[in-house]
Structure 1
Amino acid sequence: MENTTKIIFPYDQSLVKELPLIDKSNIEKILTTAQNLFNDQSSWIPAFRRIEILEKAAFIMNERSEELIHIAISEGGKPYKDSKAEILRAIKGVKLAAEHISQIKGEQIPMGLTEVSLNRIAFTSKEPIGVVVAVSAFNHPLNLAVHQIVTAVAAGCPVIFKPASSTPLSGLALADILNEAGLPEGWLQVVLCDNETAELLVTDARIHFFSFIGSAKVGWSLKSKLAPGTRAALEHGGAAPVIVESDADFSEMIPDLVKGGFYHAGQVCVSVQKIYVNQEICDRFIEEFSRATQKLIVGNPFDEKTDVGSLITPKEVNRVEEWVNEAIEEGAKLITGGKRISDTTFQPTVLFNPSEDSKVSTNEIFGPVVCIYPFTNREEAIKKANALEVHFQAAVFTKNLDVALDVTKKLNATAVMINDNTAFRVDWMPFGGRDASGLGMGGISYTINDMIREKLMVFKSKSL
């Protein structure tokens, strides 16, 4: 019997669609198709055509934005207003990729600087790295697909895309749109398969670049098995620490941090998770933060009033509930929330001063839970913020420039937001984790540059 994957609406667990999975016997054909396209340079898509394809794709996406929003909500459960923002970002991402194609260029390397380099002129040029395999995550099903597929198209690489098995519909919709926009057959192959088959694909010697968004455990494991020479970019999670000083502006900070903590029910790799607050303002912070949290509307993601939707599976609700109960048993004070609303939703939860050994302190929660820790010594707070293996984005709230610069320098993070939440991102900025949180930097232009490689040409002539 054919294996399938069931796409379930996370909020009420209703069946959206059932799709077939490929098995190992299909892998050879998929790889051969991609490799043949790359090896035949006469079939490469010229830059002007890549620009035309992506510009047309962005236009079609814009025309079908409501349909794409509906697809994203039905498979991922992210509330309407946030799914709408994701689709608009995805369209902008396609436009950014099209624009960046004109920036793919080499440079002249100076010669004649030594006697042996006389009578030469040298240039670098850029060419596609080769076959790209991209493995994606569930939490931003269209925007992540853009970051992994469209960047490969812009770089001129054949791409094999494996979406998360729970949220493949947005990636498939993007593939249809790219085909409609004129992407030649074979340049994008969307593969739905189990983990064992995916590993066979990823670790094949014909893969030149591996793009991964997902858990650190899976990402580092796959990287360790890559064929020699396969380049990789990995994006994992973080715990997004925030330092709040006593001079922070409450009117700006509270709504910002509440949004950063509970956006997509906390299922974001840079969600606000750990807030270290100066003891002088801690009582006021807890009061205002919890009051704003209690106003959040939890409900059906299709309802435009909903702020917080469902978690991706009931299993995740069980896990979040266990972690919160464990934290309370180990000394955390429950400020608000703390209970499941249904099999698929959990109350936005605020915990005060959980043990540094509790799971909510040591692991990425990936749920609607924010932990607040008081501090009297800022250096100690920074030390605790840096104590985990994961380091991605962080933030500091203060009106003191020296404090902001000092904290920014000392926090172990790839990006530090000053007076903004940790989840801020635009798609033209570098974005990624360091240490256990990832390898390389994402962002449309950064990923395109990862997917191209340099070639040096040196001309020798007596006429030079």
Structure 2
Amino acid sequence: MRIGSTIQGIERAEEKRETMEVQNPYNQKKIAELALAGPQDVNDAVQNSYEIFHSRMKGMPAHERAEILRRAADALHQKQEEFAAVIMQEAGKPIRHSREEIKRSIQVLRFSSELSKHRTGEVLPMDAAIGGENRVGLVKREPLGVVGAITPFNFPLNLALHKIAPALAAGNTVVFKPAEKTPVSAHKLVTLFQEAGLPDGALNVIIGTGKETGEALVAHELVQKITFTGSLPVGRAIRKAAGFKKVTLELGSNSPNIIFADAELETTVSSLVKGAFAFSGQVCISAQRIYVQQEIYESFLEAYVQQTENLTLGNPGEESTDIGPMINEEEAERAKHWIDDAKAKGAVIQTGGERNGTMLTPTIMSNVQSNMKIIADEVFAPIVSVIPFETEKEAVEFANDSIYGLQAGVFTKDIDRAMRVANQLEIGGVWINEISTYRQDNHPYGGVKQSGIGREGVKYAIEDMTEIKFIGIKMEDK
């Protein structure tokens, strides 16, 4: 299978292009050959999307945009198993979890369809200001134009649609640059939107490397907004290069989860097994730091290790598999090095810590220090640290001791304490009696500190995909 960029509905996969292979992370089998795009393709895509924005999308009625998104949702619903199989193959995500991603992706499309018809403004009381008599003020939201969407490998469809669907719902056009590790689902998504009736050029997809195409997309003068999910270093570079463009950045995290002594232990343990190890920990809000009150620390750790060791590792195509491979061997090697480095500095491996190719066994660490990479940085691997604490104040200080602040979990039956802690956490989102890894597609999602800028969640993304325009009317006196 050879795939290339799609611009104005036409695929660019000529033989003369440089190529790159997409491999299954589990068995290294070739899935596709990419015909790589370059800066000229990016320019063509942006120019075309700019033209389509002004000729088609900007003036398209809301009901028409809503219908296109609804048809796309219906088509994806019909092709759930087909898309799930692609994600399983290109990302190595266990098939059960791949199906969950498809269901969420359908939901994002449906939310976007509904909300595309509710892009409302307001009427201002102009006479609230001195001299404002006989004036009417209208505030409306208008689409931005061309949106550049850059996405990572870990949720190749859902994270893409969190950018694309709200942008289209707001009336924009999109130039989409997916991760080169997982472009097959992106390629299929273009076809899906074509079948749903989206005008050619409203969604152009660039298949290429970040260096060759991502940088050109960020720098292009006709792009009005960049929305990016990925690493902190790349996010910093995008913000610097974007100039006056609007920017949404969903970057790293090392999410804390705080377990108080009165928490319901059994469900908390089982939830945090999933929260730390789902998709081999390659989730930006994966539970990476678990702080457990001293009274229950030993019992929590014992139960946590036992349930983790019951997970099934192996072929992501098998229904019984809980944990599949990491995205590639380089990432697995990096994660193993972090484990070994922490162990050399005094940390204890309670379970796991073994690597075989791209497979890394789920790893629980204890006796960690705050300056170890496994706790200070984003590990993005099936590694979690369990740390005891004494007081509420100490737990908050531990959780806030990070350059990141994306999402957290707090477990307690004391609602007063839960709210006190939630209000003190320097975090973009806090779940009470739920793991940090839980995300719904309709709540505001984004971080503080170096976890990012802006918010996703369909309603909030649509707002940020528009610009406010004020229109004032001075009426004649009677």
Q: If the TM-score is normalised by the length of the shorter chain, which range does it land in?
A: over 0.9
Contact 2:176-2:204 at 8 Å conserved across structures: yes
Question: 2:224 aligned with 1:208, yes or no?
Answer: yes
Cα RMSD (Å) of the superposition? 1.4
Contact 2:140-2:470 at 8 Å conserved across structures: yes
Q: 1 CA distance for matches of 2:57 and 2:284?
A: 41
Alignment partner of 1:453: what SS?
strand
Question: 2:402 aligned with 1:388, yes or no?
Answer: yes
Question: 2:70 aligned with 1:55, yes or no?
Answer: yes
Alpha-carbon shift at residue 260 of structure 1 (Å): 0.3
Question: 2:430 aligned with 1:416, yes or no?
Answer: yes
Alpha-carbon shift at residue 114 of structure 1 (Å): 4.5
Aligned to 2:164: 149
Alpha-carbon shift at residue 294 of structure 1 (Å): 0.3
Alignment partner of 2:128: what SS?
coil
Aligned to 2:106: 91
Alpha-carbon shift at residue 42 of structure 1 (Å): 8.2
Equivalent of 1:320 in 300, 319, 335: 335
Alpha-carbon shift at residue 101 of structure 1 (Å): 1.0
Aligned to 1:223: 239
| Residues 347-369 of structure 1: CA deviation (Å, up to 9, x unaligned) | 11111121222110211111111
Q: 1 CA distance for matches of 2:463 and 2:287?
A: 29
Contact 2:43-2:220 at 8 Å conserved across structures: no
Aligned to 1:355: 369
Q: 1 CA distance for matches of 2:202 and 2:115?
A: 19
Equivalent of 2:390 in 363, 370, 376: 376
Contact 2:31-2:90 at 8 Å conserved across structures: yes
Specify whether residues 135 and 252 from structure 1 end up closer, same or farther in structure 2 by C-alpha distance, changes over 3 A only.
same
| Residues 316-359 of structure 1: CA deviation (Å, up to 9, x unaligned) | 1111111111111111111111111x201111111112122211
Paired letter, 1:262: F
Specify whether residues 348 and 111 from structure 1 end up closer, same or farther in structure 2 by C-alpha distance, changes over 3 A only.
same
Specify whether residues 174 and 41 from structure 1 end up closer, same or farther in structure 2 by C-alpha distance, changes over 3 A only.
closer
Equivalent of 2:270 in 234, 247, 255: 255
Question: 2:458 aligned with 1:437, yes or no?
Answer: no
Scaled by the length of structure 1, the TM-score of the pair is 0.97
Alpha-carbon shift at residue 2 of structure 1 (Å): 2.1
| Residues 51-89 of structure 1: CA deviation (Å, up to 9, x unaligned) | 111111111101110001001111111111111111000
State the identity as a percent: 36
Contact 2:407-2:436 at 8 Å conserved across structures: yes
Aligned to 1:398: 412
Contact 1:205-1:227 at 8 Å conserved across structures: no
Q: 2 CA distance for matches of 1:355 and 1:104?
A: 48
Alignment partner of 1:103: what SS?
coil
Alignment partner of 1:361: what SS?
helix
Structure 2: gaps spanning 5 or more residues = 1-15
Contact 1:204-1:227 at 8 Å conserved across structures: no
Alignment partner of 1:390: what SS?
coil
Question: 2:155 aligned with 1:140, yes or no?
Answer: yes
Alignment partner of 1:364: what SS?
coil
Alignment partner of 2:360: what SS?
coil
Alignment partner of 1:351: what SS?
strand
Q: 2 CA distance for matches of 1:417 and 1:225?
A: 34
Equivalent of 1:33 in 12, 27, 48: 48
Aligned to 2:472: 458
Q: 1 CA distance for matches of 2:386 and 2:110?
A: 39
Aligned to 1:6: 21
Question: 2:34 aligned with 1:19, yes or no?
Answer: yes
Alignment partner of 1:31: what SS?
helix
Alpha-carbon shift at residue 25 of structure 1 (Å): 2.3
Question: 2:272 aligned with 1:265, yes or no?
Answer: no
Scaled by the length of structure 2, the TM-score of the pair is 0.94
Alpha-carbon shift at residue 300 of structure 1 (Å): 0.7
After superposing the two structures, state which structure 1 stretch, 27-36 or 256-265, moved more.
27-36
| Residues 415-456 of structure 1: CA deviation (Å, up to 9, x unaligned) | 111111101111000111111000011111111111111211
Alpha-carbon shift at residue 43 of structure 1 (Å): 6.5
Alpha-carbon shift at residue 36 of structure 1 (Å): 1.8
Paired letter, 1:52: E
Alignment partner of 2:131: what SS?
helix
Alignment partner of 1:391: what SS?
coil
Count of residue correspondences? 462
Contact 2:58-2:143 at 8 Å conserved across structures: no
Q: 2 CA distance for matches of 1:156 and 1:43?
A: 5
Alpha-carbon shift at residue 296 of structure 1 (Å): 0.4
Alpha-carbon shift at residue 381 of structure 1 (Å): 2.7
Paired letter, 1:355: Q
